Amino acid sequence: MAEDLKKQNQIRVDMNLVTSAFVDVSRVSLWSIDVPTKPNETTGEFRAARVFSYLAESSLLVVIETPEAHKLAEKNLKEAGFWESF
């Protein structure tokens, strides 16, 4: 799947292939915070690169997320056939 994303030039900015594919399958993709820029004004700052860590040598993707988002990701991964219990 990750290689297909690469061929289609659909990889998310600042993400590796595996992480980008995970975001597509899990459909949990709002990793941003609002940062004040002026009084009564904010801008969104994306933090995806800071909440994902892909450890290629271990084939492991570490994700920091809320319990609710974890449940949603687990549900979506199971529906897509990408969930395994160890």
Please tell me the distance from the alpha carbon of residue 30 to that of residue 52, in angstroms, as a whole number.
13
Contact predicate 44/32, CB 8 Å: yes
CA-nearest of 74, 56, 66, 57 to 17 is 56
pTM greater than the 0.85 cutoff:
no
pLDDT (tens digit per residue) in 17-75? 888 888 888 877 666 777 888 899 988 777 766 777 888 888 888 887 788 888 888 89
User: Is 1 strand, coil or helix?
Assistant: coil
Contact predicate 21/1, CB 8 Å: yes
